């Protein structure tokens, strides 16, 4: 007598599914079978690599993109040891896993999103070089040489000797132009990696790039988003730090992290010697001309480093005060005066609000629509899961939050952002109705994806509302619309003939591409060789195509050997400084660094 048993099909666990995928992926890589490895990806899939495989910041799409990357890179990278670092999680048919692996050069970490069709997204990132790890944890420096030593030098004497030699009798391998948050973060990374580097800053003190801005300026990003490498802000640091507090922190950080840093030093020219493979960087150091000859030059002059100062007819006859927002001294001198602010983004709103608070009659000239999001809504709905006290309590570290954000390829990032801004639109509907009733022209981005995509695509076009929008909605900050036609002795005339009386005109007209600094210091030919910085090639407003896949020219090799760009907000300065520092360290140590997918130049500025 036979008995039939009902067979219950048991779905494999999330861990088993990830383990099986990683095993098949590693097996295909070991066999150098790019086609077999690419077949493990979904038809619509994305692999974002941060230096680990490509010595570049590169995203490839679909199975063909994966196969192309692997065919080019596999032999040199020799990846192995793929494994999870914590139990995977599954939701809505997608398994997410944190992974680690090794390459011939280093150790990496990453993130995998797996569907029934295969890998949907894969992030791989280089975290350290095997032969050149940072002196951290068990490898931290001893700090003292025990025993009796003749002519012992103290720590302070060693630092003094280094300051006297670097740039004079001993040349840096890297010169970083610009000592704001980006240059300081990169300088700290290079210091810890043992790369001789020098940060050159034209201001008197570290932090002056913040210290010299208008006095009401505070960070609009929260503290959890803004930590610097190695040394996070203390847990009693304000959520939104005032600019002078940030300036003091940067000054302290530069000293504590022992960043080689020249103040009152202005780069006057830079030229690359193709034959020698070195730069000739001429620096005016507090009146002394110094010539530096590094192999690598990093422009860390900032996304907000080169002001866009417009040229309107009549600016030469205007009898009041006029300046770019970056030079605005603050509102104190303008009580009872008429102020016209050209622009309607972050700086314009901040400056208008401060002028109103000090008794000025303020008009904001809105030349194009602006996306506005209330700070509380952005913090709760846009950042709260990754960068907040709530996230910290849930075990979210800064490094992990950075990796989560990095794991979302730019091509599909808007799909994750649109639902967030739909919720914000609903939550703050009355606020937007009041704002638009007052005549403010508001938008949600070309595709409704809001602030982050506007920032990544064009670096402008938004305001995080910390109070100024209420003044606009209430009519306390007046609104005018249109382009400026010209200035008169006493005011501003718009294209439609509207005349605005003014004692003060502030040009909150934004900033130019960072390669403008290259044009100034290295010549227009070199600036054109590397092309425009920033933007994704999305084809949206102020971000012309074709699609780039990554931020143009940022934190990665450019078409000019030995020339790099580093910038962005505090989050980007922290996170991407690691990858730029590792690329420079590998070159300093003479490791092979074959670059896959060097960015082509489609736009010059």
**What CATH number is attached to the domain comprising 284?**
3.50.50.60
Burial of 399 (0-12, 13-18, 19+ CB in 10 A): middle
pLDDT band at 367 (very low <50, low <70, confident <90, very high): very high
Give the percent of the chain with pLDDT over 90.
Answer: 90
Q: What are the tens digits of pLDDT across the range 174-209? A: 999 999 999 999 999 999 999 999 999 999 999 999
Q: Which of 129, 146, 166 is the last residue of a domain?
A: 129
Amino acid 305: pLDDT: 66
Does the pTM exceed 0.75?
Answer: yes
Between CA 341 and CA 321 the distance in angstroms is 12
pLDDT at 396: 96
Judge whether 123 and 110 are in contact, CB under 8 Å.
yes
Q: Do 508 and 323 form a contact (C-beta atoms < 8 A)?
A: no
The residue among 49, 45, 74, 87 whose CA lies nearest residue 62 is 45
Answer whether residue 4 shows pLDDT above 50. no
Angle at 385 between CA 379 and CA 390, to 5 degrees: 80
Same domain as 56, residue 190: no
Q: Based on the domain organization, do 116 and 190 belong to the same domain? A: no
Whole-number pLDDT of residue 11: 66
Taking the C-alpha atoms of 296, 300, 301 and 304 in order, what is their torsion angle to the nearest 10 degrees?
A: 150
- What is the number of domains present in the chain? 2
21 and 109 share one domain: yes
Note whether residue 276 is domain-resident: yes
Q: Is 97 helix (H, G, I), strand (E, B) or coil?
A: strand
Q: Is residue 402 part of a domain?
A: no
Crossing angle of helices 570-588 and 398-406, rounded to 10°: 90
Strand partners of residue 125: 50, 109
The rounded distance, in Å, linking the Cα atoms of 471 and 450 is 22
- Give me the long-range contacts of 499-502 (CB less than 8 A, separation at least 24): 500/338, 500/340, 500/363, 500/365, 501/338, 502/318, 502/320, 502/338, 502/339, 502/340, 502/363
> Whole domain around residue 52: which residue ranges?
14-129
| One domain for residues 31 and 101 | yes
pLDDT above 60 for 159: yes
For residues 521 and 574, membership in a common domain is answered with yes
Q: Measuring CA to CA, which residue among 255, 141, 132 is closest to residue 188?
A: 255
Token representation of residue 105: 């050069």
Are both 163 and 282 inside the same structural domain? yes
- Final residue before a domain boundary, out of 80, 109, 129: 129
Domain assignment present for residue 241? The answer is yes
Q: Which alpha helices (H) appear in 150-207, and where do they start and end?
A: 155-165, 181-193
Are 135 and 38 contacting, i.e. CB atoms less than 8 angstroms apart? no
* End-to-end CA gap in the chain: 83
Q: 48: closest CA among 103, 105, 111?
A: 111
CATH code where residue 124 lies: 3.10.450.50
Let me know if residue 90 belongs to a domain.
Answer: yes
Percentages helix, strand, coil for the chain, rounded to the nearest 5?
A: 35, 25, 40
Q: Cβ atoms within 10 A of the Cβ of 322, count?
A: 19
pLDDT, one tens digit per residue, over 370-404 is 999 999 999 999 999 999 999 999 999 999 999 99
* List of residues 6+ apart from 552 with CB closer than 8 A: 531, 532, 533, 534, 535, 536, 537, 599, 603
Cα 184 to Cα 250: distance, rounded to the nearest angstrom: 8
As given in the structure block, the two tokens for residue 65 are: 């993109």
> Are residues 288 and 181 part of one domain?
yes
113 and 184 belong to one structural domain: no
The token pair that represents 325 in the structure block: 């927002």
The C-alpha atoms of residue 440 and residue 340 are separated, in whole angstroms, by 16
């Amino acid at each position: 007598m036979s008995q039939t048993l009902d067979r219950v099909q048991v779905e494999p666990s999330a861990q088993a599914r990830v383990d099986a995928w990683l095993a098949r992926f590693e097996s295909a890589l070991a066999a150098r079978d790019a086609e077999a490895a690419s077949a493990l990806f979904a038809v619509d899939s994305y692999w974002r690599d941060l230096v680990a495989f490509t010595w570049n910041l590169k995203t490839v799409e679909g199975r063909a993109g994966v196969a192309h990357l692997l065919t080019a890179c596999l032999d040199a990278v020799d990846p192995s040891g793929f494994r999870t670092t914590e139990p995977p999680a599954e939701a809505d048919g997608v398994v997410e896993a944190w992974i680690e692996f090794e390459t011939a050069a280093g150790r990496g970490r990453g993130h995998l999103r797996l569907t029934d069709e295969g890998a949907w997204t894969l992030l791989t990132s280089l975290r350290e070089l095997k032969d050149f790890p940072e002196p951290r944890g068990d490898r931290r420096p001893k700090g003292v040489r025990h025993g009796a030593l003749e002519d012992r030098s103290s720590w302070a004497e060693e630092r003094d000797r280094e300051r006297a030699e670097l740039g004079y009798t001993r040349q840096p391998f890297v010169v970083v132009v610009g000592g704001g948050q980006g240059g300081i973060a990169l300088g700290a990374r290079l210091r810890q990696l043992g790369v001789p580097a020098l940060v050159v800053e034209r201001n008197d003190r570290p932090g002056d790039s913040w210290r010299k801005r208008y006095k009401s300026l505070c960070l609009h990003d929260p503290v959890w988003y803004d930590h610097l490498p190695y040394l996070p802000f203390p847990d009693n640091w304000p959520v939104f730090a005032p600019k002078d507090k940030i300036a003091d922190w940067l000054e302290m950080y530069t000293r504590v992290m022992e960043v080689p840093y020249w103040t009152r030093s202005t780069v006057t020219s830079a030229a690359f010697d193709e034959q020698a493979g070195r730069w000739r960087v001429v620096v005016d150091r507090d009146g002394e001309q110094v010539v530096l000859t590094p192999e690598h030059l990093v422009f860390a002059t900032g996304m907000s480093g080169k002001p866009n100062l417009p040229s309107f007819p009549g600016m030469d006859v205007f009898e009041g005060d006029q300046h770019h927002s970056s030079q605005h001294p603050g509102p104190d001198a303008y009580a009872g005066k008429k102020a016209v602010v050209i622009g309607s983004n972050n700086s314009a709103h901040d400056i208008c609000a401060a002028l109103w608070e000090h008794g000025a009659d303020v008009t904001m000239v809105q030349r194009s629509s602006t996306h506005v999001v209330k700070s509380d809504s952005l913090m709760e709905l846009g950042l709260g899961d990754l960068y907040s006290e709530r996230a910290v309590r849930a075990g979210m570290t800064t490094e992990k939050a950075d990796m989560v954000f990095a794991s979302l390829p730019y091509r599909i990032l808007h799909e994750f952002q649109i639902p967030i801004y739909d919720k914000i639109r609903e939550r703050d509907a009355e606020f937007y109705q009041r704002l638009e009733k007052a005549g403010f022209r508001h938008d949600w981005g070309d595709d409704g994806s809001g602030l982050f995509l506007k920032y990544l695509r064009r670096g402008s076009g938004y305001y995080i509302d910390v109070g100024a929008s209420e003044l606009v909605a209430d009519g306390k900050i007046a609104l005018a619309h249109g382009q400026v036609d010209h200035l008169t002795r006493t005011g501003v005339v718009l294209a439609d003939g509207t005349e605005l009386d003014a004692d003060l005109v502030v040009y909150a007209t934004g900033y130019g591409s960072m390669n403008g600094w290259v044009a100034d210091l290295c010549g227009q030919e070199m600036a054109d060789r590397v092309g425009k910085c920033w933007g994704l090639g999305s084809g949206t407003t102020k971000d012309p195509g074709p699609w780039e896949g990554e931020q143009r020219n940022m934190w990665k090799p450019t078409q000019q050997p030995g020339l790099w760009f580093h910038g962005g907000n505090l989050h980007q300065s922290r996170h991407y400084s690691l990858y730029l520092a590792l690329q420079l360290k590998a070159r300093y140590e003479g490791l092979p660094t074959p670059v896959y997918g060097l960015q082509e130049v489609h736009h010059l500025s």
